[in-house]
């Protein structure tokens, strides 16, 4: 369900994270890739728990956030985490009543401070949902994709001997 909220000079509407466009989904995927080094500092079991729903997942999300804040991160990792939030704004922003065209990832930071802060504030509760919606569904090695001719294999068979043949004219 979309969400409409006030911004300086008008209103803006965010689409439901489940309704991301393919462009928005890919924007989120490319934004989260640099954060893999941060994710490797947090136990995988905790990350899996945090991806769920309910009180246990909320507790795990809080613990992941606590660990992320306690872990020293590089300047590049810090910038990448801000870029995830910016990408979420662009992926979610469906429309607004302002005369200016909708921002892109390239000009989002050129918006006026109050407008950008309103968008950031509105996007904050949705960032995790957008990340979940953007992730590929077949993320585990060896997990089968329905009707996949490759059977979900994470590596080639050990006896593969396919070679190109030379042909003479």
Decide: 52 and 128 in contact? Cβ < 8 Å. Answer: no
pLDDT of residue 138: 42
Whole-number Å distance between alpha carbons of 61 and 133:
16
Any idea which of 77-81, 110-114, 159-163 has the lowest mean pLDDT?
Answer: 159-163
For 69, counting Cβ atoms within 10 Å of its Cβ (0-12 exposed, 13-18 middle, 19+ buried), the class is exposed
| Max CA pair span of the chain | 74
What pLDDT sits at residue 164?
45
Residue 33 — very low, low, confident or very high, per pLDDT cuts 50/70/90?
A: confident
DSSP of 115-128, one letter per residue?
A: HHHHHHHHHGGGHH
pLDDT score for 40: 66
Q: What is the mean pLDDT of residues 92-109?
A: 96
The confidence score (pLDDT) of residue 140 equals 43
Domain boundary assignment for the chain: 22-133
Residue 78 has pLDDT above 90, yes or no: no
Residue 135 has pLDDT above 50, yes or no: yes
pTM greater than 0.75 (yes/no) = no
CA distance 65 to 159: 45
The sheet with strand 3-7 has its strands ordered as: 3-7, 10-14, 93-96
Long-range CB contacts (< 8 A, 24+ apart) of 18-24?
18/129, 18/133, 20/91, 20/92, 20/130, 20/133, 20/134, 21/91, 23/91, 24/90, 24/91, 24/92, 24/130, 24/134
Confidence of residue 70 (pLDDT cuts 50, 70, 90): low
> Cβ distance 95 to 102 under 8 Å?
yes
Please report, rounded to a whole number, the percentage of residues in the chain having pLDDT higher than 90: 31
Position with higher pLDDT, 153 vs 44: 44
Q: What distance lies between CA 40 and its chain's CA centroid?
A: 16
Quickly state the pLDDT bin for 131 (edges 50, 70, 90). Answer: confident
């Amino acid at each position: 369900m979309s969400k409409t909220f006030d911004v300086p000079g008008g209103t803006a509407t965010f689409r439901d994270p489940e309704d991301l466009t393919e462009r928005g989904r890919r924007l989120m995927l490319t934004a989260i890739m640099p954060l893999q080094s941060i994710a490797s500092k947090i136990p995988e079991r905790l990350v899996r728990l945090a991806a769920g729903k309910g009180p246990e997942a909320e507790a795990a999300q809080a613990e992941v956030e606590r660990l992320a804040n306690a872990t020293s991160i590089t300047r590049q990792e810090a910038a990448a985490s801000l870029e995830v939030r910016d990408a979420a704004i662009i992926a979610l922003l469906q429309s607004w009543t302002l005369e200016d065209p909708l921002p892109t990832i390239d000009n989002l930071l050129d918006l006026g401070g109050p407008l950008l802060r309103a968008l950031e504030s509105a996007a904050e509760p949705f960032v995790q949902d957008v990340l979940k919606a953007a992730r590929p569904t077949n993320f585990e090695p060896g997990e089968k994709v329905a009707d996949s001719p490759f059977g979900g294999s994470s590596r080639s068979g050990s006896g593969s001997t396919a070679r190109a043949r030379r042909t003479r004219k």
